[in-house]
Structure 1
Amino acid sequence: MDKQLIAIGTHPIEVGHYMLPTKEVLRLMENLKKIVTNRLPGMIVYGRPRLGKTTALKFALENLPNFINAPIPIFIANSNTYRFPSEEKFYSDLLYDFDFPFVSRRKPGELRNQIVNLLKEKAETSGTRRVIVIMDEGHNLTEAHYQWLMDIYNQLDRAKISMSIISVGQEELLSRRTFFLGQRKSQIIGRFMTHEHRFFGITSLEDIRSVLHCYDSPEISEYPENSECSFTRYYFPEGYDKGQRLEKDAGIIYRQFMDLRREHGVKSKLEIPMEYFTYAVENALKIFGTHGDQLEWITSQQWLEAIKLTGYIESEIYMALAHRGDNE
């Protein structure tokens, strides 16, 4: 393959816009399949920050229609925080995130009807009479927000349209559910929080090996299209042709992460956020590969440098301090 055909800075590794079907993504997809197949109204997806929850959910949902052989419309909205939440702000934000072309100041009821009509139209056009709404940063949702979502849900239900709300956020989502339980808000829990999915980062050597395999395999990470060139092969063509693979370096990378943690006194259970792990891989490919030092392959020391550049260990130290403060 002639690499001159690819302008420097345009490869998915350099742009940062690519998704990998990791084990965690596939596990999430299985749970989403249950939600959709059984027409369940909601689920919470939670985990520590920077695990790649939203990215994984987008990947899973983009591929879900093929997985279940049904073109279900999917909408994504951000759960914004305001000092004084209001229906008007909430509904306007939803319309904006749903790419509605004519968002204007109107009464809350009119805005809600616009949302319902938009979701209804997409659900009917798809033929499934189903719609999925993802609420990102779902730990920001208050009781009022869920009540407003319930109003949308009820209007769609009367039109015989099923809506599933997937709230994605940090572990505070569980605390929010516990609070609602204490307040006897069973209508909120029953609709949107009965089902849950705990999203994990990388917790083992096998997880590392599985993710690295995605970079090595042209069936998964081919670029450009129809080139049979994986991300690994593109950046290290000589090493790849001689049998080198990122997957074979899994043990080295695992040890570097563990040694860094021990060196800085990080004693928490291993869970590497996907964001930091992919940054480490991207650093190694960009710095030492075909657009950088043009090395044949990556050494153990260079892997360590790539990991350190991500800021992973600083994040772990701050997380440990934050949790210690919570327990004091």
Structure 2
Amino acid sequence: MERPQIQIGTHPIETGDYIIPTKEVLRLMGSMTRIVNNRLPGMIVYGRPRIGKTWALRFAIDHLPTNFDAPLPILYANCNSYRVPSEEKFYSDLLSDFKFPFISKRNSSELRRQVVNFMLEKAEKSKLRRLVLIIDEAHRLTEAHYNWLMDIYNALVQKKISMTVISVGQEELLSRRTFFLEQKRSQIIGRFMTHEHDFHGIRTWEDMQLILSGYDSPEISCYPEASGCSFSQYFFPEGYKKKERLESEAKMLFELFADLRKEHGVSAALEIPMEYFSFTIENALKKYGIHGDQHYWINKAQWREAIEMSGYVESEIYMALV
């Protein structure tokens, strides 16, 4: 197959606009599917920073509806940080994240009505009479936020609409749930925090191999669309033609990550954030591939440099100090 000709700088590896499924992403998808299928009201998803939770949510939003027999509305919102949270700010932020065109500036009751009506319209159009609300950075949610969410939830229940809230954030979410338990806030726990999902980074070389195979496979990473050219094939056409594959580098690459941690005195359990791993792959493909130094393939020293360029080592040192 002839390598497609595209403008330099526009490939997804160069723009960062792509998603490769991982074992952890697929595990999260399974948890979310079970929660929605059973019409359960909520689940918390937690993990350390930069580990790939937001990236996984993008994949879930695109693919979760395919697990159902009818369109499933999925709304995404980001919990913003304010010194003093308020109903008006909370509802306005929801409407803004929903791309609602006519946000009322009058009062919290009117804003809540707009949120509920918007959700009601989405759920009724789907014919499933249910919807999913994903809240990112959910460790910022206070008791007041959950009470406002409860008002929305109850308003939808009155209209016979099931809403599932997926709260995604850092490990502080567990502390927040413990606090609510101590304060006997059973109404919050029961609706939004009964179920949990611990989101992990890359822990084994097999995890890494699965991800790398996605960069090799035209069924998963193909650009331009329908060209049949995978990401690794595009950047290393000669190596790919001679059966070189990124997934074959998994063991060596995993050992390089482990060695760099040891060299810098990082002793915590090895868990590689997806963000830094994807930066590593992108660095290697861009710097040593057809748009860079035009090497036949990537050697061990170049992989090491690609890891160092990703900022992974500095991040692990900082996390160890924290």
TM-score relative to the length of structure 1: 0.96
* Alignment correspondent of 1:325: none
* Alignment correspondent of 2:170: 170
CA distance in 1, matches of 2:70, 2:55: 21
* Alignment correspondent of 1:32: 32
Paired residues of 2:4 and 2:227 also in contact (CA < 8 A): no
Distance apart, 1:287 and its partner CA = 0.3
Alignment of 1:64-79 (within 5 A): 64-79=64-79
Paired residues of 2:3 and 2:237 also in contact (CA < 8 A): no
* Alignment correspondent of 2:219: 219
* Alignment correspondent of 2:297: 297
Asked if 1:101 is matched to 2:93, the reply is: no
TM-score relative to the length of structure 2: 0.98
Asked if 1:185 is matched to 2:185, the reply is: yes
Q: Secondary structure at the match of 2:43?
A: strand
Residue by residue, what CA displacement relative to the aligned partner does 1:124-170 show, whole Å, maximum 9, x if unpaired?
A: 01111111111110000000000000000000000001101110000
Distance apart, 1:104 and its partner CA = 3.3
CA distance in 2, matches of 1:16, 1:66: 24
CA distance in 2, matches of 1:133, 1:76: 6
Asked if 1:153 is matched to 2:175, the reply is: no
Paired residues of 1:92 and 1:111 also in contact (CA < 8 A): yes
291-300 or 100-109: bigger deviation:
100-109
Distance apart, 1:69 and its partner CA = 2.8
Residue by residue, what CA displacement relative to the aligned partner does 1:91-148 show, whole Å, maximum 9, x if unpaired?
A: 1111111100011311101100000000000100111111111111000000000000
* Alignment correspondent of 1:5: 5
Asked if 1:129 is matched to 2:129, the reply is: yes
Distance apart, 1:70 and its partner CA = 2.6
Aligned residues: 322
Residue by residue, what CA displacement relative to the aligned partner does 1:209-238 show, whole Å, maximum 9, x if unpaired?
A: 111011011111111111111100000000
Paired residues of 1:200 and 1:271 also in contact (CA < 8 A): yes
Paired residues of 2:203 and 2:272 also in contact (CA < 8 A): yes
Paired residues of 2:87 and 2:108 also in contact (CA < 8 A): yes
Alignment of 1:33-52 (within 5 A): 33-52=33-52
Residue 129 of structure 1 aligns to which amino acid in structure 2? Answer: R
Asked if 1:194 is matched to 2:194, the reply is: yes
CA distance in 2, matches of 1:4, 1:26: 30
CA distance in 2, matches of 1:67, 1:288: 39
CA distance in 2, matches of 1:5, 1:254: 32
220-229 or 132-141: bigger deviation:
220-229
Residue 88 of structure 1 aligns to which amino acid in structure 2? Answer: E
Name the Cα RMSD after superposition. 1.0
Q: Secondary structure at the match of 1:9?
A: coil
* Alignment correspondent of 1:19: 19
* Alignment correspondent of 1:311: 311
- Structure 1, unmatched stretches of 5+, are 323-328
Residue 114 of structure 2 aligns to which amino acid in structure 1? Answer: Q
CA distance in 2, matches of 1:25, 1:69: 22
CA distance in 2, matches of 1:249, 1:69: 39
Q: Secondary structure at the match of 1:219?
A: coil
* Alignment correspondent of 1:138: 138
CA distance in 2, matches of 1:2, 1:243: 16
Dislocated runs of 4+, deviation >4 Å: 1-4
Q: Secondary structure at the match of 1:131?
A: strand
Residue by residue, what CA displacement relative to the aligned partner does 1:56-88 show, whole Å, maximum 9, x if unpaired?
A: 122123211112233110111111111111101
CA distance in 1, matches of 2:312, 2:79: 26
Paired residues of 1:33 and 1:64 also in contact (CA < 8 A): yes
Residue by residue, what CA displacement relative to the aligned partner does 1:235-272 show, whole Å, maximum 9, x if unpaired?
A: 00000000100011112211110110110010000000
* Alignment correspondent of 1:238: 238
* Alignment correspondent of 1:111: 111
Residue 232 of structure 1 aligns to which amino acid in structure 2? Answer: S
CA distance in 2, matches of 1:26, 1:4: 30
* Alignment correspondent of 1:271: 271
CA distance in 2, matches of 1:70, 1:199: 28
Residue 94 of structure 2 aligns to which amino acid in structure 1? Answer: L
Paired residues of 1:79 and 1:138 also in contact (CA < 8 A): yes
115-124 or 57-66: bigger deviation:
57-66
CA distance in 2, matches of 1:37, 1:193: 17
Distance apart, 1:5 and its partner CA = 3.2
Q: Secondary structure at the match of 2:310?
A: coil
Q: Secondary structure at the match of 2:266?
A: coil
55-64 or 155-164: bigger deviation:
55-64
CA distance in 1, matches of 2:89, 2:66: 35
Paired residues of 1:29 and 1:61 also in contact (CA < 8 A): no
